[in-house]
Homo-oligomer: A and B are copies of this chain.
Amino acid sequence: MRKVAIVGIGQVPVREHWDSGLREMAVRAILDAMQDADVRNCDALYVGNMLAGYLSDQSNLGALLADYAGLQVSEAVSLEAACGSGAAAFRQAVLAVASGMVESAIAVGVEKLTEHSDVSPTNGLATAADADFEAAMGLSFVAINALLMRRYMHEYKCRKENFAGFVINAHDNARHNPHAMFRQAIHLEQYQHAKLIADPINLLDSSPIADGAAAVVIVPAEQAKQFAQPAVIVNACEVGVDTLSLSKRKDPLKLGAVTQSTQRAMQTAGINHTDIDLLEAHDAFSVMTTLALEAAGFAEYGQGTQLANPATIGINGKLPLSTFGGLKARGHPVGATGMYQIVEAVTQLRHQAPDAIQVSDAKRAMVQNIGGSASYVVTTILERDKA
């Protein structure tokens, strides 16, 4: 299959958008991406969304958004893989162009979480867990991560403070991202005294739910030079799959799907860990950041939190992490999150990030979007076009 490139990006700020519904946000992101690429149409539209049916009584988003964005398409469909929905849509858009099925495609992730009638986003998010064997017992997604965090602290004799560096780093970067939800720095004392949500998870361990939409335009790499923006090549986009239920895993602290997905992506791209200039990680909870870094091979099991310092994950560190604030501080509009990560990595590789968070001479980025308790994981390797 041919290589593909990202030639346009668009996003709306991650906020509580009381003035915009699903379609308005998604269309803004799509049209911004098309304007950025300077194209008038694309052949196919792939939508990443988790909860439009549940919270907004709206399914069939592919056709809806193709209409509202004024697109003439030969495909317009929705993909869902819980919080991994954004990357799932991105992956199908990549495949559609790579295979030659179409000459251009848009992937958009969109989620509207703050406006709903008689259902709760917390219950909606719990649909990513096993409905019969986890959610039916009252286990919310925060509770699942609390179990993981407690287990981690017990198993590896890890102190709660060890996680703080991830959170501080994310907020530090988000200050410079105009699209981020939380743009204030936080300090260790604030983390230590933050309100408990589900012991041991506190408010600052958790990413905020929010509304948002982000989109990209994808074309064959050989055509990328015709576009105004510096092209970013998709060198790999690979999936790993695991059980929904934590209880079915041999060791819940080892995220098998993260390992599978990372190894496949690195093999496809022909690179290893040291080739990566920045990592947009799925930091929905600070324990998830830690587990994912370990399963992806950036740290030994039990030692993930040792990375949580500026020399390692800061913008000028060895492995800049969550460079636009990550899920933690940019915000986590679930089905849109995977697309925000891609848009941010592309911005870094174009060298168009705000100065304070631009990773110097960024050439290659890894993006990891996680659905459920790492039951569906997509790892993408993006590279600045050498040409």
Contacts and interface: CB of A to CB of B under 8 A. Distances in A.
A75 to B, nearest CB: 5
Interface in A127-162: 127-132, 135
Contacts of A61: 80
A98 interface: yes
Contacts of A92: 77, 92
A358 interface: no
Given A77-B79, A80-B78, A239-B75, A59 B50 contact: yes
Interface string A198-225: 0000000000000000000000000000
Interface string A249-280: 00000000100000010000000000000000
Interface residues of A, number: 60
A371 B62 CA distance: 11
Contact of A372 (B63, B80, B99, B129): B63
A375 B63 contact: yes
Nearest to A124: B53
Contacts of A100: 1, 99
Interface in A10-46: 21, 23
B243 A76 contact: no
B123 A57 contact: yes
B135 A242 contact: no
Nearest to A377: B63
Contacts of A96: 95
Contacts of A352: none
A60 B1 CA distance: 28
This chain: copies in complex:
2
Contact of A56 (B66, B99, B131): B131
A290 to B, nearest CB: 22
B127 A241 contact: no
B126 A60 contact: no
A58 B127 contact: yes
Contact of A60 (B53, B56, B80): B80
A376 interface: yes
A24 to B, nearest CB: 10
B99 A53 contact: no
A21 B92 CA distance: 28
A248 interface: yes
4 tightest A-B contacts by CB?
Answer: A99-B99, A63-B375, A58-B131, A59-B127
